[in-house]
Amino acid sequence: MTTSAAAPFTGRGRRGGERPPDRYADLFAAYRAELDHVRLAEHSRRAYASRVAGFLRWLDTDGAAADPTGADPLSDAHARDFAVRDYRAHLLAVAKRRPATVNAHLTALDHFFTWRHLGRAVVDRADLPEQAPRALSDDEARRVLRAAERLPSLRDRTIIELLYNTGVRCAELVALDVDDAPVTARTGAVHVRAGKGRDGGKPRTIPANPRGRRALSDWKPARATWPNADNDPALFLNRYGRRLSTRTVDQVVADLGRSVGIDDLSPHVLRHTFATAMLRRGAGLVLVAELLGHARTDTTRVYTKPTEADRVRAVELLPGDS
């Protein structure tokens, strides 16, 4: 187990962020320092830290009596299992988290307890519904794109267009350099140098469609007027002339969604929309998997499953007396 004497991490994100109870501050600081050396994308490290901090906050209050023997769940394997099972139930029944979100929390706790030399908790994953991930309907997509065209920030407009028209992940978008998105009037591409996974995923190239090319063609000259544009290669800069963060992209997308009445809009919903739209319009599974950067087509196949809207349309086909 790491004994690094890192300073306590006090950053805060959504839903409380990475702030554990005081009595677990040193333990959490050591874990956070360990995460800095793990081969994960930065947004994944932040997510792990935030989820572990959430577990520690719950343990400090509701989970204090998780094990009837009174053993410490942070040092005893049996007590660990009791605590994580109760926390899973808490996330589902009290916090009303979706099964996929609950499983993401359990994955973070697997990593945390492995670091504690206790190994993974013996806890079943939450059952996932057999349906496709949330994607925009055609009407929602039109509303989002029309709203994006009215955004005063050309940078933000280009972000929305690239997320929607290339299906790149948020972390991949902010990692792009100017040279990774060459564009002319007739051709264009987005070169993803490192994707998702322990080894950075496979590099891939996504052709830019006309909307994507137009957005890039408009943004690149405008980018040249931003602070530090000549010195930082990042395609998207913040107001201080540094590479844009995934958190800012999340906020840009969420704000746009709320402006058109779509409260759950996120970069990942735009990625899901890209994949779903292509598959439903006849693109092959292998091709879509390649464009998304999926190592296995089974991962892509989830987009062929029925959505909630599909289920609604199906039951509305039943004959009635009206």
Mean pLDDT of 294-300: 88
Whether 146 is catalytic: no
For the residues of 118-177, what is the DSSP string, one character each?
Answer: S-----PPPPPPSSPPP---HHHHHHHHHHHHT-S-HHHHHHHHHHHHH---HHHHHH-B
In sequence order, the 6+-apart residues with CB closer than 8 A to the CB of 127 are 99
The Cα 321–Cα 240 span in angstroms is 64
Helices and strands (H, E) in the chain, number of each type: 13, 2
Distance of CA 258 to the CA centre of its chain: 18
Of 169, 213, 223, 272, the catalytic one is 169
Would you place residue 39 in the very low, low, confident or very high pLDDT band (cuts 50, 70, 90)? confident
Q: Which of 229, 259, 254, 258 is nearest to 242 (CA)?
A: 229
SS3 61: coil
pLDDT value at residue 1: 37
Is the pLDDT at 8 greater than 50, yes or no? no
pLDDT in tens, 248-288: 999 999 999 999 999 999 999 999 999 999 998 999 999 99
pLDDT in tens, 74-129: 999 999 999 999 999 999 999 999 888 999 999 999 999 999 999 999 999 988 76
pLDDT value at residue 2: 36
For the residues of 168-184, what is the DSSP string, one character each?
Answer: --HHHHHH-BGGGS-B-
Report the share of the chain in percent with pLDDT over 70.
88
pLDDT in tens, 143-163: 999 999 999 999 999 999 999
Of 80, 157, 271, 272, the catalytic one is 271
The residue with greater pLDDT, 38 or 235, is 235
Whether 303 is catalytic: yes
Of 51, 143, 223, 294, the catalytic one is 294
Is the pLDDT at 40 greater than 70, yes or no? yes
The Cα 133–Cα 206 span in angstroms is 22
The residue with greater pLDDT, 12 or 95, is 95
Of 116, 243, 268, 301, the catalytic one is 268
In sequence order, the 6+-apart residues with CB closer than 8 A to the CB of 278 are 288, 291
pLDDT value at residue 235: 98
Mean pLDDT of 8-23: 56
How many CB atoms lie under 10 A from the CB of residue 92? 15
Would you place residue 196 in the very low, low, confident or very high pLDDT band (cuts 50, 70, 90)? low
pLDDT value at residue 13: 38
The residue with greater pLDDT, 39 or 88, is 88
Position 184, amino acid: T
- Helix, strand, coil in percent for the chain, rounding step 5: 55, 5, 40
pLDDT value at residue 220: 97
Whether 78 is catalytic: no
pLDDT value at residue 44: 85
Whether 169 is catalytic: yes
Of 51, 196, 213, 272, the catalytic one is 196
Q: pTM, whole model, 2 decimals?
A: 0.65
Structural domains in the chain plus CATH codes: 14-115 (no CATH), 138-313 (1.10.443.10)
Q: Which of 45, 15, 259 is nearest to 156 (CA)?
A: 259
Average pLDDT, the chain: 87
